[in-house]
Amino acid sequence: MSRYLFCLALFNLAVATGSVLAVGPAQAAEKGWILEQNKMSVRSKLYISAIGIKCGPDPFDASYVSKGPDWKLYIYNPKKRIYFGQSLESFGATEKVLTGSLSTMRHAGEYFKGKETTIAGLAAVQYRKFRGGEWNQVYIAKDIVLSPRLNKVASYILGTPPGVHDTNRIMLRREIIDSNGFRLTILNTTSARRSELPSSTFEPPPGYRLAEGLEQVVSR
């Protein structure tokens, strides 16, 4: 299993321009963002504010939710009505077991800052690298800054690669272009809007059965 497909399975901002989304006291509602995205042609929604993040579904029918201050990550499957939750660090250990060295191979090398553009009405900055005969291109929101912990959770869910992850911005698009010019779009943001997001947005859904492990949630 390649790094980007696994990240899709572990398959995303109340902010003033240039400010940081930091976790504050629990509130009934927090100004945030709702992004509509395509993940490998599957339509998905990302809800994000200073207090939490929710995303789904992904190509494996899984959705994800996490909330400060502990940022425990819950992955749940609405079709199976099961869920699995643990710390982000534990999910990292699980990924290492499942992907072996493929993760390192896929992301080895440095991303370089490229052009600026607009995606879904948001200013975006391109980061790209060339390796193994293909271009890897990532676009991040230029003016939306995440707190460090929220950034880690969002990057893990969306599969933001190392080097780009360190910018503390949300990823809006990711694509791979091979030597023949074929473009594989892994993630693309199609719309973005500000919205009041209640704290309950970032709670795991009630009435779901605890799964025996992550594989049970994301497997078909």
Of 71-80, 99-108, 191-200, the range with the lowest mean pLDDT is 99-108
Task: Walk me through the domains of the chain, giving residue ranges and CATH numbers.
Answer: 3-218 (2.50.20)
DSSP per-residue letters across 145-206: EE-HHHHHHHHHHHTPPTTTGGG-EEEEEEEEE-TT--EEEEEEEEEEEEEEEEGGGGSPPT
Q: Above 50 in pLDDT, residue 8?
A: no
Tens of pLDDT, residue by residue over 128-170, are 999 888 999 999 999 888 999 999 999 889 988 887 877 889 9
Percent of the chain predicted with pLDDT > 90: 53
- Tell me the pLDDT tens digit for each residue of 27-84: 467 899 999 999 888 899 999 999 999 998 887 788 999 999 999 999 999 999 999 9
What do you get for the CA distance between the two ends of the chain, in Å? Answer: 14
Tokens representing 17? 């321009």
Contact 68, 146 (CB under 8 A): no
Write the DSSP string, the chain: --HHHHHHHT------TT-EE---S--SEEEEEEEEEEETTEEEEEEEETTEEEEE--TTS-EEEEETTTTEEEEEETTTTEEEEE-HHHHHHHHHHHHTTHHHHHH-S--EEEEEEEETTEEEEEEEEEETTEEEEEEEEEEEEE-HHHHHHHHHHHTPPTTTGGG-EEEEEEEEE-TT--EEEEEEEEEEEEEEEEGGGGSPPTTPEEPSSHHHHH--
pLDDT of residue 123: 97
